[in-house]
Amino acid sequence: MRGMRSLKQSALLLGVMLVAGCSTTFRPWNLSEIEEGMDRNRVIQILGEPDRVESKDGAEFLYYSYSEDFNAPLADGSTLAYEASRELRQKQINRSLRVYKYSVKLVDGLVQTYTELQE
Q: Any idea where the domains of the chain sit in the sequence?
A: 26-117
pLDDT at 50: 96
pTM of the model: 0.60
pLDDT of the residue at 66: 87
The CATH number of domain 26-117, selected from 1.10.150.120, 3.30.450.20, 3.30.2130.10, 3.30.1450.10 = 3.30.1450.10
Is the confidence at residue 37, as pLDDT, over 80?
yes
The lowest-confidence range among 45-54, 80-89, 104-113 is: 80-89
Name the more confident of 106 and 80. 106
Secondary-structure percent of the chain, ordered helix, strand, coil, rounded to 5: 45, 25, 30
- Residue 94 is predicted with a pLDDT of 66
Q: How confident is the model at residue 87 (pLDDT cuts 50, 70, 90)?
A: confident
